[in-house]
């Protein structure tokens, strides 16, 4: 995995585009300005898993955000397959339960040893950053507050042997209070002050997310489709890195 010394290393760019060509273009422009390339469902379903191999030459770690949620055996087999692809991180839904998460983590470690590749970090998606309390209570029939549910799911993920969680930056502090410090916390729903919220509901700025304890921030549209006044994708990534850098300086122990 990327070491987290540089501010850029903490930026995960979401390649939410429909073709491998567009993804390659973004990766090529941003390779020196971000730390991780995230392949999500849109790109995976339109370009196929082959797109993972097409991203490898850019030399950046790959986060396959497959958000697996199925019976433990199926998730274990899928986890073996993504491990063989050589990704550095992949995601499963914590709402799939303890045994499903444990199957994913065990399968990834076992397959990595067998294929002699680095074991990928297995991350649990807690509650999607597009889901607010009203949606969670009314539509998903999960009572209580979002933060309480996210923290409970993060603890479940840790007890199932996962390496980290994906959660909104607004829940990072609460998660950090209960998770071991070695657990990775990845936060989407991150919006620089100059960007639109789009469909994200529980957002925070990159600087604040890192100050709260996020290991990585996931940013898609604000970097891949930046507002005209910010300039190119590279300018947008640079601005995010500067903000993270300032936050690291202010919050680093002296
Ligand atoms: O464009 P934007 O910055 O909103 O992209 C955020 C990315 O993070 C998307 O690829 C989305 O699928 C992903 N994500 C999320 N919320 C989660 C997990 C992943 O927005 N809880």
- pLDDT of 63-78, one tens digit each? 999 999 999 999 999 9
How many Cβ atoms from other residues are within 10 Å of residue 138's Cβ?
9
Rg of the chain over CA atoms, in angstroms?
17
Residue 33 DSSP class: T
Residue 254, domain member (yes or no): no
What's the number of domains the chain is made of?
Answer: 1
Residue 1, domain member (yes or no): no
Distance 117 CA to ligand 1 centre (A): 27
Residue span of the structural domain in which 214 resides: 8-249
**Separation between Cα atoms, residue 83 and residue 237, nearest integer Å:** 28
Distance 189 CA to ligand 1 centre (A): 6
- Report the residue among 188, 192, 200, 201 best suited for mutation to probe ligand 1: largest number of ligand atoms under 8 A from its CB: 188
pLDDT of 148 reads 97
List the chain residues with pLDDT less than 70. Answer: 1-5, 253-254
pLDDT of 199 reads 80
Distance 169 CA to ligand 1 centre (A): 12
pLDDT of 5 reads 67
Global confidence as pTM = 0.94
Residue 2, domain member (yes or no): no
CA 213 from chain centre, in angstroms, equals 14
**Separation between Cα atoms, residue 13 and residue 26, nearest integer Å:** 9
**Separation between Cα atoms, residue 24 and residue 29, nearest integer Å:** 8
Residue among 2, 6, 31, 67 flagged as catalytic: 67
pLDDT of 3 reads 55
Instruction: Identify whether 67 is a catalytic site residue.
Output: yes
Residue 46, domain member (yes or no): yes
**Separation between Cα atoms, residue 107 and residue 39, nearest integer Å:** 21
Residue 3, domain member (yes or no): no
pLDDT of 126 reads 96
> How far is CA 192 from each of CA 37, 83, 93, 166, 237, rounded to the nearest angstrom?
19, 33, 26, 19, 10
Please tell me if the CB atom of residue 200 comes closer than 6 angstroms to any atom of ligand 1.
yes
Query: Could you tell me the CATH number of the domain that includes residue 156?
Result: 3.20.20.70
pLDDT of 190 reads 93
pLDDT of 200 reads 76
pLDDT of 108 reads 98
């Amino acid at each position: 995995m990327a070491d987290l010394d540089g501010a850029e290393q903490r930026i995960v760019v979401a390649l939410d585009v429909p073709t491998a060509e567009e993804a390659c273009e973004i990766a090529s422009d941003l390779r020196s300005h971000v730390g991780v390339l995230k392949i999500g469902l849109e790109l995976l379903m339109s370009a196929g898993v082959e797109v993972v191999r097409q991203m490898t030459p850019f030399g950046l770690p790959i986060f396959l955000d497959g958000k697996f949620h199925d019976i433990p055996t199926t998730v274990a087999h899928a986890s073996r397959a993504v491990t063989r692809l050589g990704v550095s991180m992949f995601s499963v839904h914590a709402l799939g339960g303890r045994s499903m998460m444990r199957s994913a983590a065990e399968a990834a470690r076992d397959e990595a040893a067998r294929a002699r590749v680095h074991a990928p970090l297995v991350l649990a998606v807690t509650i999607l950053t597009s889901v607010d309390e009203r949606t969670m209570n009314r539509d998903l029939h999960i009572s209580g507050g979002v933060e309480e549910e996210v923290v409970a799911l993060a603890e479940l993920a840790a007890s199932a042997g996962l390496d980290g969680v994906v959660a909104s930056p607004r829940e990072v502090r609460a998660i950090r209070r209960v998770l071991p410090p070695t657990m990775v916390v990845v936060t989407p729903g991150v919006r620089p002050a100059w960007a639109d919220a789009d469909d994200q509901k529980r957002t925070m700025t990159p600087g604040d997310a890192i100050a709260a304890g996020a290991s990585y921030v996931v940013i898609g549209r604000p970097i891949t489709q930046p507002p005209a006044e910010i300039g190119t994708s590279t300018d947008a990534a640079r601005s995010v890195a500067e903000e993270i850098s300032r936050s690291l300086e202010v919050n680093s122990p002296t």
